[in-house]
Chain A
Amino acid sequence: MNILIQGGRVIDPTQHWDELADLYIQDGEISALGEAPAGFQPDEVIDASGQIVCPGLIDLCTNLREPGYTRKGTIASETAAAAAGGITTLVVTPDTQPLVETAAVAELIQDRAADVGFARVLPMGALTRNLDGEQLAPLHGLASSGCVAFTNMRNPIASSQTLMRCLEYAATHDLLVIFQAQDNALAANGCMHDDTTSTRLGLNGIPEAAETIEVSRCLLLVEETGVRAHFGQLSCERSVRMVEAARERGLDVTADVAIQHLLLTDESVNGFNAAYHLQPPLRSQLDRAGLRQGLVTGTIAAICSDHQPHDPIAKQAPFAATEPGMSGLETLLPLSLSLVEQQLIELPQLIETLTAAPARILGIEAGTLEIGSPADICVFDPNAEWEVSEDSLRSAGKNTPFLGQTLKGRVNVTLMDGRIVFRR
């Protein structure tokens, strides 16, 4: 199928493109920018005037809830939501039921996603069996079945020796380990950042040390073992400084942040609003500033959604009894665009954090419009305003604190492999 995307502002940091130009797609691949290829006849013309054309977004951390928690969402519903959010590649966490610790489950997820055909789904595999921090999971086999990275999520690996051995094994096969750094004992029972707001509300706090201690331990072991490593969803300013220092010493570790942590603080929890119950928790203004600064300096290379769709009942209880997480696939782009509006970073740099950087971190060939690459494309209107509502969200999870708010920036067309998977 030949597709012409006409008159848009094409931005691709990998190719250093930022210009008004036409984009040509043939046989599922990008075939040209600017001049039509010889003999090109479009089957479909997409009018992108006034809009941005960029690589399809890559979301480094999402939860699609299938298999096992389909009350909250399914691969079908959530990949459809992703497509509506301009996201063409999703990395999913291994905490499905059963866990992604067998080839069968890894393949099930990818097959299901392919059947539905809205977005690419790349599973993360469990680092230890049962995520219990004791025994290694079959990392090599899982990698062969499509797992792009391995994580123990926030489950503790109590013994540092065990952790070191897991990292050594992963390093043996050049596998990427993603840390969601949390010291379990310090975080125990906590449901929000440990500071003035938690004191006033009488809610158990998760101190900063719960993240920084684990970041520190992991950094030292990464250095020791040489494993490829990435820190997912940092929440503390101090963690950013630690990663920065490690990088300055020459350690090639990367980090991402969930978009909400760049915009919100723990003060939002006032009034016990469970929509702001997140993991890791929203922290102080100082932490938010540090995370934003980390994005600017490049210590934080990527932004993700940390999408956690929930059924309504999960958020309808006193704060500590609610389940953490927000539904974020469809708000990722408009919320990220607000960083440009706030003049924190420029648009091309923002797009890099959502496309090329995640691809680089994962070591996959994606997040680019390079000629010949698969046509995963997002066409969006940066000025279109829309209200976040239960109707406007396609995800099964309506649990977002931005419900009822008007956001700026809306995807109009999403293509994957040169196929239109979403059109408004």
Chain B
Amino acid sequence: MVSGTLSVDALLDKMARETRTLIDHRNLTDPLMIGIRTGGVWLAERLHQQLELQSPLGVMDISFYRDDFTQAGINPKVQPTQLPCATEGRHILLVDDVIMTGRTIRAAMNELFDYGRPASVTLITLLDLQRRELPIQADVIGGTLALGPDQIVKLNGPDTLSLTIRQRD
């Protein structure tokens, strides 16, 4: 079991390299990067810069698309999704901090498709916690992590990014 803090910068470098390879390999012309609030946005900002992407960065809030409406209620602090251009026919690079059950990504894709039909969607996450409940996988992963039953991981930001792992309250 891991505990304490982890360096994000090293993982980011790895993710940037792998994403570059993938973009070239799959011929993803003029990709549109979209970060999922909040952690995904922090990561996307850095990746967007490192990859020197042309199209401006998009920001997505998936609160209204979550499937745990009954347990969690509605988040009153939702800020709107801001996509700088149409997604129809574009190659999307979707960025999030963590993939665990896969439900957030499912919600993000549903929302994305309400905006239009993309040409492709590539998923980039910092961490994979390997507790899938849906058949969704990331294309680029910073690292995998096996947490203990009472542990949670959190991405801290926005200025300096770091990961902390701690016991659940």
Instruction: Answer yes or no: A and B touching, Cβ < 8 Å.
Output: no
List chain B positions with a Cβ less than 8 A from chain A.
none
List chain A positions with a Cβ less than 8 A from chain B.
none
